[in-house]
Amino acid sequence: MLRFLTRRTIGAAVILLIIAAVTFFLFFAVPADPARLACGKICPPETLAQARHNLGLDQPIFVQFVEWLAGVFVGRDYDGLGHCPAPCLGYSFVNHAPVFDTIVDRMPVTISLTLGSAIIFLLFGVSTGVVAALNQGKALDKIASVSSLIGASVQIYFVGTLAMYFLVFQWDVIERPRYVPFTDNPLQWAYGLLLPWIVLAIIFTANYTRMTRSTMVEQLGEDYVRTARAKGMPARTVITRFALRGTLTPIVTIFGIDVGTLIGGAIITETTFSLQGIGRLSIQAVVNSDLPMLMATVLLAAAAIVVFNVIVDALYAVIDPRVRLS
């Protein structure tokens, strides 16, 4: 297990390094001038040159990349701007602040949105899928299948907009979504994010229901499950210890990808509900041509997906005894 995790961690680090290099060099393919953005529209040539020097933009591209990469581990000094402590992901030309500080401020919103919705759609999706598989061909199975098909067909911005209009503005059933720090008031934290959690759960639960049902039906027909039944094991034991355990392997795979993607920034959800998270931050970076901020959000999304994929691979051996990690 240790060798496997070490190998996967090294591979993940190489992937992130490649993504960082590609993202950084694409940064210079954008026609916008970072120094001009930092200096403003009305900027004398000498002031513009000084801004380029302060931001290190007057050096060769490769040197800039090496300095940026070193800043991630040991920090970086900007002339006229001060020291950016590690991990330094650059300096925002729009906010006039280190990029990492802004991401840290927005991260609790995205993590809260991700964790709450992930717990809901995982529990409901897997439970509904198991019930549908155990009642294959019956009314419960048909209802679950139709519901999951409808849920998988709709989009977050559609369901979110309808939920906001009717539940918040028209019927006043729930207050408008807002973020309250968990440490300030746990109940207000949960209540303020309840509507986004429900909307995300509607979309994602459908996928988990369909995946769980199809995999569970397949597992129930496996030889080792039929053998366990033939030996007289209780139905609950056969389902939980054998069929369900094999069913969870693909579920964990898509769960890791979904959580990594949401942590990287639930762009549509945060925009629909006006939540100031990482996804909304990336949209603002695009609109404002804040290229260092955009680079950081892209790398954060990539890192989240890569890290959760490593975690998922490590969990395979725990969930499914047939998996062997060499």
The predicted pLDDT at position 167 comes to 92
- What are the tokens at 291? 């290229």
Measured between alpha carbons, how far is 5 from 204 in angstroms, rounded to an integer? 29
pLDDT digits over 131-171, tens only?
999 998 899 999 998 888 888 888 888 899 999 999 999 99
- What are the tokens at 255? 């769960």
The predicted pLDDT at position 320 comes to 63
* 6 sits in which H/E element: helix 2-27
Which parts of the chain have pLDDT scores under 50? 325
Beta bridge partners of 82: 78
**How many CB atoms are located within 10 Å of the residue 309 CB?**
18
The predicted pLDDT at position 32 comes to 66
The predicted pLDDT at position 181 comes to 94
Could you give the angle at the alpha carbon of 267 between the alpha carbons of 265 and 270, nearest 5°? 100
Chain CA centroid to CA 279, Å? 9
Measured between alpha carbons, how far is 283 from 233 in angstroms, rounded to an integer? 55
The predicted pLDDT at position 168 comes to 92
Measured between alpha carbons, how far is 90 from 292 in angstroms, rounded to an integer? 6
Q: What is the DSSP letter of 60?
A: -
pLDDT digits over 238-260, tens only?
888 888 887 888 898 889 888 88
Residue with tokens 């995999």: 215
